[in-house]
Structure 1
Amino acid sequence: MIATVSTVKDTLANVQRFVRGNLAGGVDHMVVFLDGPDPEVEAWLASQEHVTCLVADDAWWGGQRPADLNDRQRLHANITKAVLTVVPGVDWLFHVDADEICQIDRAAIAAVPASYDAVRLAPLEAVSRPHWDASPTWFKRLLGEADLKLLEVLGVIDKPANGQYFHGHVEGKTATRPRLDRWLTIHRTVDEKRDEVPHFKAPGLSVLHYESYSGEDFVRKWSAMLAAGPEISLRPVRERTKAAVQALIGKPLSPEVRERYLSRIFAATTEDDFDTLRELGLLVEVDPDRGTHTPKPFAGRDDLAAALAALAGQPKDVFGVCKPAGPAQEVLSRLGAGDGKKSWWRKNGRP
């Protein structure tokens, strides 16, 4: 069984695309932490058979909510991973964002050798255009040196590097087998020394990244990112965009004027030369709405939901990246997780 874990703050339409696309693209179950209350999104997620949803509000954090979004994401990923070590049934747990859709060839992932504890999904980034009539279906793939130099000479990119060509990450996304001695970061699976473990890669294992794919999404996403916390880890090429957006938002402008200048920042920093990229054969056409995967029911869904609910208000630091496994195991044992008996949560009337 393939599962994902995500920390989400987005519109209902985008969350619906995210859930439906991942389930059709090879995922069986999704764990979604809402990064704050959103009754409309929460109600829809609660109605989905293949989703476990938890609202990461003040009650969840117990007054100790990390200010950094990346810290919240890592904690949620590794809390879920830890619980899945005692709630059986999940073979791989992928850490993805709400603007990412997994494309998992189930035959490819079934062929992962037992010697690998991690899998990597190669990134495919949505082409950024001022407007899409529907959800994007054209994506950029990582390019080799010759194509990157061609795009530099043509003036499409400033430097011949995928880090310049892509606006978002170039690392892709990662999965781990549920183990207490492996940890999920934003893009890697690491061991107790924080060293990256070997990742299995193969054709048919990729992730669609809807990174600022339109002018409207650019404005929405950057506004949400800057509101999510004082520190956001970004690649150096994106710091220029961040600084410009921050400076603009800090000025006493009318909404109409602010939106006009945000559109100019999008055009200067993010908009892609779609016609050139497509004519040169550098794009991949993918429509996640045409995915054919049928998710498997997760027998441990109720226990997973109850275990996460039981952790509300408790300190989360023991689940941090590269923290000793012993304290995390003690927390799970104290809650009765994995004791081979009727679950602690059901005995105590938890969901």
Structure 2
Amino acid sequence: MLFTASTVKDTLPNVQRFVQGSLAGGIDHMFVLLDAPGAEGQAEVREWLETQPHVTCIPTGKEWWAGDRPAQLNFRQRINANLLKQVLSGFGWAEWLFHVDGDEVVQVDREVLETVPAEVPAVQLAPLEAVSRMHWDEDPTWFKTPLGDDDLALLFALGVIDKPSNGAYFHGHAFGKSGIRPQEAGWLTLHKALDLDREPLEVFRHESLRLLHYESYSGEDFVRKWTAMVASGPTASFRAARGTTADALRALIGKNLGEEKARIYLMKLFERTTEDDFETLRDLGLLVEVDPRRGEATPRAFPDGGRAAMLAALDAVRPEPKRHFHPGQEGEGGDASAVRGVRRLLRRS
């Protein structure tokens, strides 16, 4: 079976697109961890998720973190993904676990995954990014793919991008996301799969293994995302490759304008820094059209007793300290002995 792990805080329509698209795109079961279950709108998200037979919804409130909730979202995401990797590690039917965000949709060819050599522990999902337009009548269906040097040079010469690089062409990450065999001794980060020495694992790549990324795809989505960042204060972080855009957003956040006034300037920033030249990109044949909800995959069921065993393993780690499952950074490092203790606990469950 194929699994995803995601720590999310989003609107119900966006969560529905994320879930329905990934299940139609080849995923069998999704772990959706609500990062702020008490926040506005999250009750209806939880209610909907709990009706979905191929989703395990996990509210990560005070009880989940046992009073030790990491301040940084990136840390919480990594911890949650690696905890679930450990939960699945004892089940042979758990073939792959992908760590993805709530604004991403997984699309994989199961037959291709079956050809991955047994000695290769990880796979890479190539990114496709939704074209950013001021308004979409429905969900975006046109996506950008990573480009070669010639096409990047053409777009730069036409003034479509600021630099002839995929980092300038994409508004979000251009690296993609990884999946790992749950039984592999390693870690999942935001984008990569690492071994126990935190070196990148060997990965398998194929054009049919991809990720649709809905990064700031409309003016409204850009404002929604960055209004939340404005509310979080001047310590918010940004992808370094966004350069001038990131500097402008830092400056705007530092003005403490308040949500309503910040929205006006965020929309101006979207127009000047993020909105794509859709017509040019389509005329040049650089876009692909994809509607993920029209995927033909049907989620596969757990083997007999498998779901109950998985939930029992999950219940076994609920009261445990969670920071031990972080791959490790100074000040928030993983504790290998604690992880081994949880492994023993899971084997007994």
CA distance in structure 1 between the aligned counterparts of 2:169 and 2:259, rounded to whole angstroms: 31
CA distance in structure 2 between the aligned counterparts of 1:79 and 1:15, rounded to whole angstroms: 22
CA distance in structure 2 between the aligned counterparts of 1:111 and 1:227, rounded to whole angstroms: 46
* Cα distance, 1:278–1:169 mapped onto 2, change above 3 Å: same
1:56 aligns with 2:60: yes
Query: Partner of 1:119 in structure 2?
Result: 123
Deviation at 1:324, TM superposition (A): 5.8
CA distance in structure 1 between the aligned counterparts of 2:212 and 2:103, rounded to whole angstroms: 8
Deviations 1:221-260 (A, max 9, x none): 1233455687555431335434433443454657554322
Query: Partner of 1:328 in structure 2?
Result: 339
1:19 aligns with 2:23: no
Amino acid of the residue matched to residue 285 of structure 2? G
Amino acid of the residue matched to residue 75 of structure 2? D
1:188 aligns with 2:199: no
CA distance in structure 1 between the aligned counterparts of 2:95 and 2:234, rounded to whole angstroms: 35
Q: Give secondary structure in 1 for the equivalent of 2:339.
A: helix
Query: Partner of 1:205 in structure 2?
Result: 209
Amino acid of the residue matched to residue 272 of structure 1? D
Deviation at 1:319, TM superposition (A): 1.5
Q: Give secondary structure in 1 for the equivalent of 2:33.
A: strand
Query: Partner of 1:349 in structure 2?
Result: none
Task: From 321, 325, 343, give the equivalent of 1:315.
Answer: 321
Query: Partner of 2:347 in structure 1?
Result: 338
Deviations 1:113-170 (A, max 9, x none): 1121000000000000000000000000000000000000000011100000000001
Structure number with greater CO (CA < 8 Å, separation at least 6) is 1
Amino acid of the residue matched to residue 172 of structure 1? G
CA distance in structure 1 between the aligned counterparts of 2:183 and 2:235, rounded to whole angstroms: 29
Residue segments in structure 1 that go unaligned for 5+ positions in a row = 345-351
Alignment check: 8 A CA contact 1:5 1:31 kept: yes
Amino acid of the residue matched to residue 7 of structure 2? T
Q: Give secondary structure in 2 for the equivalent of 1:72.
A: helix
Deviations 1:38-69 (A, max 9, x none): 22111111111100111111111011111111
Amino acid of the residue matched to residue 319 of structure 1? F
TM-score scaled by length of structure 2: 0.91
CA distance in structure 2 between the aligned counterparts of 1:206 and 1:152, rounded to whole angstroms: 26
Q: Give secondary structure in 2 for the equivalent of 1:170.
A: coil
Q: Give secondary structure in 2 for the equivalent of 1:119.
A: strand
Deviations 1:61-99 (A, max 9, x none): 011111111100000010000111124421000000000
CA RMSD of aligned residues (A): 2.0
Query: Partner of 2:248 in structure 1?
Result: 244
1:3 aligns with 2:8: no
Deviations 1:200-227 (A, max 9, x none): 0012110000000000000111233455
* Cα distance, 1:26–1:64 mapped onto 2, change above 3 Å: same
Amino acid of the residue matched to residue 347 of structure 2? G
Task: From 111, 132, 138, give the equivalent of 1:107.
Answer: 111
CA distance in structure 2 between the aligned counterparts of 1:148 and 1:51, rounded to whole angstroms: 39
Alignment check: 8 A CA contact 1:46 1:53 kept: yes
Matches within 5 A, 1:129-140: 129-140=133-144
* Cα distance, 1:111–1:5 mapped onto 2, change above 3 Å: same
Amino acid of the residue matched to residue 133 of structure 2? R
* Cα distance, 1:180–1:91 mapped onto 2, change above 3 Å: closer
CA distance in structure 1 between the aligned counterparts of 2:26 and 2:222, rounded to whole angstroms: 28
Alignment check: 8 A CA contact 1:50 1:298 kept: no
Q: Give secondary structure in 1 for the equivalent of 2:118.
A: coil
Query: Partner of 1:302 in structure 2?
Result: 308
* Cα distance, 1:224–1:89 mapped onto 2, change above 3 Å: farther
Residue segments in structure 2 that go unaligned for 5+ positions in a row = 329-333
* Cα distance, 1:244–1:106 mapped onto 2, change above 3 Å: same
* Cα distance, 1:84–1:225 mapped onto 2, change above 3 Å: farther
Q: Give secondary structure in 2 for the equivalent of 1:338.
A: helix
* Cα distance, 1:226–1:94 mapped onto 2, change above 3 Å: farther
Number of aligned residue pairs: give it. 338
